[in-house]
A and B are shown apart, each in its own frame.
Chain A
Amino acid sequence: MRVPGYWRNMPFLYRLAGWKCVHCGAFHNYKPVVCKRCRSREFAQIELPASGRLIAYTTVRSPPKEFAQVAPYAIGLIELDDGTRIISQLTDFREDELRDGARVEAVFRRIRVNGDQGIIEYGYKFRPALRRS
């Protein structure tokens, strides 16, 4: 991804902001022109909840070249507290904490150093949530 593309998608990558269709409720993590489900053109900008639970996970061991420096790394499918499902890198996990249903919370982290110019790209990752009392 080139720098302008990264810049355009900062609302989602930096703070889990996106657009919800006013008519059918479908969430878009990009600024849509028409709703991907109902073709409506009315949206409300929202911020997704920054916590949820892990519903599936894996560890990438044979990474694409952009991630050679950080491999192996864990990827999770997370169901946020409002039911939205998103994909994220997982961080600060011990292996025994990677399990179904683990409570997780979003953190802002460095994702990668990209391209010949070495642009440092940031975004969200998810880590284990501290146990609630």
Chain B
Amino acid sequence: MAGVYVAGVGFTKIAEHWDRDLEHLMVEAANKAMEDAGVSSVNAIYVGCALSEPLQDQMNLGALMAECAGLVGAPALRMEAAEASGAAALYAGFCDVASGRSEAVLVVGGEKLSDGLSDEVSSGMMMMSGRSWYEGFMGADFYALNALLYRLYSKRYGEEGIPFFPVISHEHAEGVPHAQYPFKISLDRVLESPFIADPLRMLEVSGIGDGAAAVILVNEDLARRLSSPKARIYISSATDYVNPFDREDPLRLQSVLLAVNKVLEQAGVSRSEINMIELHDATSILAALCLESGGFSPPGEAGKLAMKGEFGLNGRLPCNTFGGLKARGHPFGATALYQVAEIYLQLAERAGKNQLDNPRVGLTLSLSGVGAAAFASLLKKE
């Protein structure tokens, strides 16, 4: 397989952008990424977005993006994999370049959740986490499924340290210009926040925001000619039964394990060589399950390791170095591309006050629903 490189990234601040349309947020991110990479055209556009139908009454985002970005003529496809839609677009863009078909592609993801009321967003999330006629019919939404997993987890291992994951993400987001919630919160504040679905607390789940992020992927030839910093990228994905309770062990996300194993094999990298991870901390319990299922923490230990500081900026394995889904923000179709952009910034030594010491390899994990699909991408400094 031919090499694929990230040559530039761009993103908007995550916020409630009342005055801007979804496609305009995506154009801002796309323009920034193209300028960052130093390219003026691309062979194809891949768009990630999850909920433009229910929230913007809009489909055909590929052609719409091509027009708004001034790239009419380029083939443009929209990819959907629920909350991991940005990762799905990245996967498609990667395959396009790796196959030799395209020299450069624009991968852009966006989501504008503030166009909906919070119960409409919950309703959209329910479409993403289960079947409409089963979990959806029963009102077992994303938070309810997470809460049930959390209970099973606490029964088996105890909940120690799980509520600490939001504390880590917020600590890393402090002062980050693009983060939606750029401030610290204490563990007590998390523990005192009301239940959204017991035992899951309000401050253990990501918020609702708008944002867009973009990545330029190029082949080896073009990578050599461009002057921007490059990172070699690999991506893998796997699926699991949609309902976590149909799986042999609901507390082991097999999709995460498979995706991680495949991407490590592709890149020829071992777990111990990974310097940082962007986790899918849509909820605190999912952050822990990602680490444990991916083989980065023994089962039942992730919360305890979090409390010991292992996932902090100075820890053994820094996670969510710009705040993760919880504090940077989680605009679904854009989220995975923020993750990739943030790993890229770390590798390019452009991470500002959050810069890690000479990182070489970073991993991102992006989930749809409660791990129905998992995408793992790995970036390596060139």
Q: Looking at chain B's contact residues, is the secondary structure mostly helix, strand, loop, or mixed? A: helix
Inter-chain CA distance A36–B147, complex, in Å, is 26
Q: Does A123 belong to the interface (CB within 8 Å)?
A: yes
Q: Does B196 belong to the interface (CB within 8 Å)?
A: yes
For B247, the closest partner residue in chain A by CB is A85
For B245, the closest partner residue in chain A by CB is A85
Q: Which of A86-133 contact B (CB under 8 A)?
A: 86-89, 100, 111-112, 121, 123
Digitize A1-33: 1 where CB-to-B-CB distance is under 8 Å, 0 elsewhere.
Answer: 100011011001100000000000000011000
Q: Does A58 belong to the interface (CB within 8 Å)?
A: yes
In contact, B119 and A89 (Cβ under 8 angstroms)? no
Inter-chain CA distance A56–B152, complex, in Å, is 7
For B136, list chain A residues within 8 Å (CB).
1, 64, 66
Inter-chain CA distance A68–B122, complex, in Å, is 11
Inter-chain CA distance A88–B135, complex, in Å, is 8
A13 with B133: in contact, given A63-B119, A65-B123 (CB under 8 Å)?
yes
For A36, list chain B residues within 8 Å (CB).
241, 246
Q: Which of A42-75 contact B (CB under 8 A)?
A: 55-68, 70, 73, 75
A75 with B144: in contact, given A1-B132, A5-B132, A64-B119 (CB under 8 Å)?
yes
B24 nearest CB across to chain A (Å): 27
For B200, list chain A residues within 8 Å (CB).
58
In contact, A65 and B245 (Cβ under 8 angstroms)? no
Q: Does B59 belong to the interface (CB within 8 Å)?
A: no
Interface residue from B123, B151, B197 paired with A60 (Cβ < 8 Å): B197
In contact, B119 and A75 (Cβ under 8 angstroms)? no
For B151, list chain A residues within 8 Å (CB).
56-58, 77
B15 nearest CB across to chain A (Å): 21
Q: Does B120 belong to the interface (CB within 8 Å)?
A: yes
Inter-chain CA distance A41–B64, complex, in Å, is 43
For A86, the closest partner residue in chain B by CB is B245
B129 nearest CB across to chain A (Å): 10
A19 nearest CB across to chain B (Å): 14
A126 nearest CB across to chain B (Å): 10
Interface residue from B126, B138, B196, B199 paired with A88 (Cβ < 8 Å): B138
For B72, list chain A residues within 8 Å (CB).
none
In contact, B148 and A58 (Cβ under 8 angstroms)? yes
In contact, A123 and B139 (Cβ under 8 angstroms)? no
In contact, B137 and A121 (Cβ under 8 angstroms)? yes
A6 nearest CB across to chain B (Å): 7
In contact, B132 and A63 (Cβ under 8 angstroms)? no
B66 nearest CB across to chain A (Å): 32
For A8, list chain B residues within 8 Å (CB).
133
For A62, list chain B residues within 8 Å (CB).
118-119, 122, 143, 196-197
For A65, the closest partner residue in chain B by CB is B119
In contact, A13 and B137 (Cβ under 8 angstroms)? yes
In contact, A73 and B139 (Cβ under 8 angstroms)? yes
Digitize B302-339: 1 where CB-to-A-CB distance is under 8 Å, 0 elsewhere.
Answer: 00000000000000000000000000000000000000
Q: Does B134 belong to the interface (CB within 8 Å)?
A: yes
Inter-chain CA distance A8–B137, complex, in Å, is 13
A61 with B132: in contact, given A13-B137, A75-B138, A111-B138 (CB under 8 Å)?
no
For B197, the closest partner residue in chain A by CB is A58
Q: Does B238 belong to the interface (CB within 8 Å)?
A: no
Inter-chain CA distance A110–B271, complex, in Å, is 51
Q: Does B117 belong to the interface (CB within 8 Å)?
A: yes
Q: Does B53 belong to the interface (CB within 8 Å)?
A: no
A59 with B197: in contact, given A1-B137, A9-B133, A67-B139 (CB under 8 Å)?
yes
For B148, list chain A residues within 8 Å (CB).
56-58, 75, 77, 87
The 9 closest A-B pairs by CB, nearest first: A58-B147, A64-B123, A56-B151, A65-B119, A64-B122, A67-B139, A58-B197, A56-B148, A9-B133
| New A-B contacts (6) at CB < 8 Å, excluding given A60-B141, A77-B148 | A6-B137, A58-B151, A66-B126, A66-B136, A70-B139, A123-B137
Residues of B within 8 A of A (CB): 117-120, 122-123, 125-126, 132-141, 143-144, 147-148, 151-152, 155, 194-200, 241, 243, 245-246
- CB-defined A-B contacts under 8 Å, sample of 18: A9-B134, A12-B134, A58-B198, A58-B199, A60-B144, A62-B143, A63-B119, A64-B141, A65-B117, A65-B122, A75-B140, A75-B144, A75-B197, A77-B148, A77-B151, A89-B138, A111-B139, A112-B139
